[in-house]
Amino acid sequence: MVVSCTVSAIALSEVNRVERGQLFLLSLPGENAASEVEIVDAHQSAASYKYPAVGAVLAIGIIVAWSGPMAFLSRCRHRSVPILAIFGVAVVADMLTTVIFFHTRGVFYELHPGVRLFGYAYGRTTGAVLAKLVQFVGVLTIAFLSGRYGQWIIIVATFCTLRLPRIISSSLVSD
């Protein structure tokens, strides 16, 4: 519970930093600075999603703390290894395409508010990598705590990781 509250406080601090316009904390050499559109969008996104984001972090921490003692009921089965491998490849592919997207189009075009906030907070490359790692760990945690339904959660997450961005981008292009 202490860890959950600490992580929530850090998340609130980071979102406040983005809201104040202090962007790309861990940007890599050669990355473009934030454009005027990104600065305005970062402020608006941070203001809009501050409390939902921190609330989600706190809620997930409470659920994990509450469910943690029951996690022994979930056993890793040998047949889940290929599913995990495919999910891992899908996450890496999604991470790479998000980094490329942030560099070529801009962070403000990202549809997922959490990924967008990570991009604004930590930079075009580092933010995308951290956001996708958080998603990866989140899916694995939920799957682990879900026991025998965990494999299905990973399968659905893999499908969404591979197909959903293409479906959304093709609908945006056709509009």
Q: Residue 60: its pLDDT value, please?
A: 80
Using the predicted structure, report yes or no on whether residue 72 has a pLDDT greater than 70: no
Burial class (CB in 10 A: 0-12, 13-18, 19+), 18: buried
Residue 120 lies inside a defined structural domain of this protein: yes
> 19: pLDDT confidence band, cut at 50, 70 and 90?
very high
Q: How many domains does the chain have?
A: 1
Q: Cβ distance 128 to 112 under 8 Å?
A: no
pTM of structure: 0.82
Please, which residues have CB within 8 angstroms of residue 121's CB and are 6 or more apart in sequence? Answer: 14, 15, 17, 18, 23, 24, 25, 127
Q: Where in the sequence is the domain holding 59, given as residue range(s)?
A: 2-170
Residue 175 lies inside a defined structural domain of this protein: no
Q: Residue 98: its pLDDT value, please?
A: 93
Using the predicted structure, report yes or no on whether residue 121 has a pLDDT greater than 60: yes
Residue 43 lies inside a defined structural domain of this protein: yes
Q: Residue 77: its pLDDT value, please?
A: 53
